Structure 1
Amino acid sequence: MTRRLCPAIAEQSYGPVIAAITELLDAGKKDGSIRPDADPGDFLQLTGALWRAAAGPEDRAPHMLALILDGLRTHR
């Protein structure tokens, strides 16, 4: 059985989550460690896939997270 969040809960939590991600990304943009075009909505969608990554011997989540975080960094 697949668990799904109640739409009302998802709607209520989306704003605060995006606000927190925005604050973190903005701090990184300000200090130059995060690329200026990093978007909080994109970050949330990409990291949302991590909880669906299979756990076990073929656990892809750590590699996927490394790719996401590397994509946020500025390339100097």
Structure 2
Amino acid sequence: MRADARHNRLRILEAAAETLAAAGDTSLKSIARRAGVGQGTIYRHFPSREALVLEVYWEEVEELAAAVPALLGALNPPLALRTWLKRLLDVGACTPEFACAMSTAGDVLTEECGQAYQPLLDALSALVAANEAAGAIVPGTTAEDVLLLLGPLWRVGADDEEYARSERLLDVLLRGLCPSDGTRGALPGQ
């Protein structure tokens, strides 16, 4: 990549991070204006809005993906799955743009978007496989299924009452996914 293209990419990422962190207009047009580039320049570097947003939140993606081995080493598979999904929901609650991108990333899985989305999908796949091996999850469940089911939970508000509601809904989701996990007493909120 040429030096000017690298510079533009960095400016776009910085502008996107600033724009997404602020209240108000978070459109690509607004990001382009803040970066001092045209929208076409953004699309040359990021084929979709989701790809740009997931790139901005790359550190969160890496942390979530890296957490899986430790969770599976310390907790039984259903509790590891619940703990990880709760962390994923928390990231989405704190950063609604990330949640929105995650909710649609599977539908617009370009190479760029896949680079950020795939580590999360791989991490969740490991959790699903561990649960299937333990006989805790409905056989045939995929990571994509779980993310699709999780999508509506990201739309629950971020205030205290809505946060408690998302916790309850996560437990409902997990009771459906893991009907015989044997951890009913271990899941908070039950």
TM-score category of the 2 structures, normalised to the smaller one: 0.7 to 0.9
CA contact (8 A) 1:32 1:74 kept: no
Aligned length: 76
1:73 maps to what in 2?
Answer: 178
CA contact (8 A) 1:53 1:61 kept: yes
- The separation in 2 between residues aligned to 1:13 and 1:68, in whole angstroms, is 25
2:49 maps to what in 1?
Answer: 6
CA RMSD of aligned residues (A): 2.6
Deviates more, 1:40-49 or 1:56-65: 56-65
Is 2:58 aligned against 1:15?
no
Query: CA-to-partner distance for each residue in 1:22-58, whole Å, 9 max, x for gaps?
Result: 1100011001111112121121122233232113364
Amino acid at match of 1:69: L
1:62 maps to what in 2?
Answer: 167
Point out which structure has higher relative CO (alpha carbons under 8 A, 6+ apart): 1
Gaps of 5+ in 1: none
Structure of higher CA gyration radius: 2
Is 2:121 aligned against 1:49?
no
- The separation in 2 between residues aligned to 1:73 and 1:39, in whole angstroms, is 13
Structure 2 SS opposite 1:34: coil
- When normalised by structure 2's length, the TM-score is 0.34
Structure 2 SS opposite 1:49: helix
More helix per residue: 1 or 2?
2
